[in-house]
Amino acid sequence: MECLNVYVLTTLSIDAKGNVVSRNVGVTFDIFEAEAHKGRGVENDFDMFLVPGEWREEAEQSILVTTMRDFREMVVQLQEAALR
């Protein structure tokens, strides 16, 4: 199974109580973008996660997303039928 590297960009900040906390500020698939984010300041960093290549098929889907994908498939079939 093919896996993808996902980089979650983080930054340190101070919360309302004065505690230093790490916040997620972005996500990228590009190591160079993650390294550039880290290079912008000492408070910036990133975490790397391996994600299965078929993550969309394995992800939880809402009824709306499922319905829209079915609708898109129907439109593609109608377009193909119209071109015949």
For the chain, domain boundaries: 3-83
Which tokens hold the place of 23?
A: 């916040």
Instruction: Give the model's pLDDT for residue 36.
Output: 94
Q: How far is CA 62 from CA 52, 53, 59, in A?
A: 20, 20, 10
Provide the pLDDT for residue 57: 67
State residue 63's pLDDT score.
78
**How far, in Å, CA of 9 to CA of 22, rounded?**
10
The Cα 7–Cα 9 span in angstroms is 6
Q: What is the pLDDT of residue 10?
A: 94
CB atoms within 10 A of CB 26: 13
Among the listed ranges 17-26, 29-38, 56-65, which one has the minimum average pLDDT value?
A: 56-65
Is the entire prediction scored with pTM above 0.85?
no
Q: What is the pLDDT of residue 4?
A: 86
